[in-house]
Chains A and B, each alone.
Chain A
Amino acid sequence: KAGVTQTPRYLIKTRGQQVTLSCSPISGHRSVSWYQQTPGQGLQFLFEYFSETQRNKGNFPGRFSGRQFSNSRSEMNVSTLELGDSALYLCASSLSTTGINTDTQYFGPGTRLTVL
């Protein structure tokens, strides 16, 4: 099976702009989680989607949003970009067939966002 894919891999934006990142999970996986990785803050949970519904959300401002489509592909959007949003954005998918939370998460390669 193909692994988790993310597009684009690299992105450069300026402050105030908005950005949309895409994640395609492993075929058959229904849960997609998003994380922000920075050297100072480590891996921080943004949100998780399951069956097109946001199942959980981390402690990020409302500028960060996401959605999931019927084919389980997910997008996240960041509006009004700030310098501090520069990070590696990782998504991870899991099978989650019964909706339980213990399924293994497989990460994508990430999108490196640079905000100038």
Chain B
Amino acid sequence: GENVEQHPSTLSVQEGDSAVIKCTYSDSASNYFPWYKQELGKRPQLIIDIRSNVGEKKDQRIAVTLNKTAKHFSLHITETQPEDSAVYFCAARDYNNNDMRFGAGTRLTVKP
């Protein structure tokens, strides 16, 4: 089955700096890659997703890039703000198995 690894596990940046979180996946059949943000005590919220027919997707300060050959995808947050502080999860969906596998999460702290 699919295995998703996420790095780093913790990330601390200064307000205004950029943050990058990287994930790798093992199953070349995976074709859907969402990113979720989970604030303390709240449900995971989808912030951006990418499908395997595109290499990059942007939504204001957030972007995701996908390298299918290398089987990795990354989340980029620019001009970080304290409210970006949360745990971020990447995931990959295996088209054959239909289940979603999550990375272990990255705790992002944005210092004002």
Contacts and interface: CB of A to CB of B under 8 A. Distances in A.
Interface of A: 33, 35, 42-45, 48, 55-56, 58, 90, 101-102, 104-110
A107 B39 CA distance: 13
A45 B34 contact: no
Nearest to A102: B32
- The 7 tightest CB contacts between A and B, nearest first, are A43-B102, A102-B32, A107-B43, A101-B98, A56-B99, A42-B104, A56-B98
A2 B105 CA distance: 27
Nearest to B87: A42
Interface of B: 31-32, 34, 36, 42-46, 49, 51, 89, 91, 93-95, 97-105
Nearest to A46: B99
Nearest to A43: B102
Contacts of B46: 104-106
A43 B49 contact: no
Contacts of A33: 99-100
Contacts of A107: 36, 43-45
